[in-house]
């Protein structure tokens, strides 16, 4: 009687140990999967940052030289972004990319209609959003508007007496000089987007979302 009881408890102990061992193995598998997922996310974020930087540099090069951003850049990067996220995360990734493109374009349509911004700039933000996502695109847009406002204030200050003489000597390859044009002075929007991109990295971090 006692021996049977001992066997019963011994067997039960072995089963309980097996359960705990199984739970430990499951936790290890989940932990390993989480680490792999984290590495994958970091790799994808790094890739998106690299492509976004290339998109910015290529647009700056053409916008600062010719005041235009070719469709080959904007549509090319936008289509690549949609394809990348579709292949990476399926339809969830495609929706992420498409919503990012929409978030980059829609807020700027009014400025485009009012001729406060060129169509290439609008399409550029769409391409950026297709890679980085809606929230990141809106964050960059926010910083870009701030920088554009700051640049506009500086250009207006160039007309202030005492500064006007020095301001007139500032090289200005983008149409009428701001000292003469005043509020009608135009400048490449990438002149604001480039420092805004750096501001976004410093203050907001770069986490495509």
What pLDDT is attached to residue 171? 81
What pLDDT is attached to residue 157? 83
What pLDDT is attached to residue 96? 95
DSSP assignment letter at 176: S
What pLDDT is attached to residue 154? 85
SS3 at position 165: helix
What pLDDT is attached to residue 162? 77
Q: Which among 202, 174, 204 has a CA at the least distance from the CA of 189? A: 174
- In whole angstroms, what is the distance from residue 172 CA to residue 84 CA? 39
The token pair that represents 38 in the structure block: 């984290």
What pLDDT is attached to residue 100? 95
Sequence ranges of the domains in the chain: 43-204
What pLDDT is attached to residue 190? 94
- In whole angstroms, what is the distance from residue 209 CA to residue 139 CA? 10
pTM of the model: 0.76
Count of H-run helices and E-run strands, the chain: 8, 0
What pLDDT is attached to residue 98? 96
What pLDDT is attached to residue 127? 97
Q: What is the pLDDT along the chain (209 residues), one digit of tens a residue?
A: 443 443 334 344 434 344 334 434 433 433 333 343 455 577 778 889 999 999 999 999 999 998 899 999 999 999 999 999 999 999 999 999 999 999 999 999 888 888 778 889 999 999 999 999 999 999 999 999 999 999 988 888 888 887 877 877 788 777 777 777 766 778 889 999 999 999 988 887 666 66
Q: Are the C-beta atoms of residues 82 and 130 closer than 8 Å to each other?
A: yes
């Amino acid at each position: 009687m006692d021996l049977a009881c001992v066997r019963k408890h011994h067997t039960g102990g072995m089963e309980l140990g097996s359960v705990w061992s199984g739970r430990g193995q499951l936790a290890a598998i989940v932990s390993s999967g989480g680490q792999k997922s984290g590495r994958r996310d970091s790799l994808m974020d790094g890739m998106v940052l690299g492509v976004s930087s290339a998109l910015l540099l290529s647009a700056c090069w053409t916008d600062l030289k010719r005041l235009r951003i070719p469709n080959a850049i904007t549509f090319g990067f936008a289509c690549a972004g949609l394809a990348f996220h579709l292949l990476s995360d399926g339809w969830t990734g495609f929706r992420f990319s498409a919503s990012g493109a929409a978030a980059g374009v829609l807020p700027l349509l009014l400025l485009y209609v009012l001729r406060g911004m060129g169509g290439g700039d609008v399409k550029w933000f769409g391409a950026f959003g297709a890679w980085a996502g809606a929230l990141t695109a809106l964050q960059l847009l926010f910083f870009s508007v701030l920088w554009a406002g700051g640049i506009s204030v500086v250009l207006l200050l160039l007309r202030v007496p005492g500064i006007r003489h020095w301001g007139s000597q500032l090289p200005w390859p983008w149409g009428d000089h701001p000292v003469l044009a005043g509020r009608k002075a135009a400048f490449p929007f990438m002149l604001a987007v480039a420092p805004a991109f750096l501001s976004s990295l410093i203050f907001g971090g770069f986490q495509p979302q």
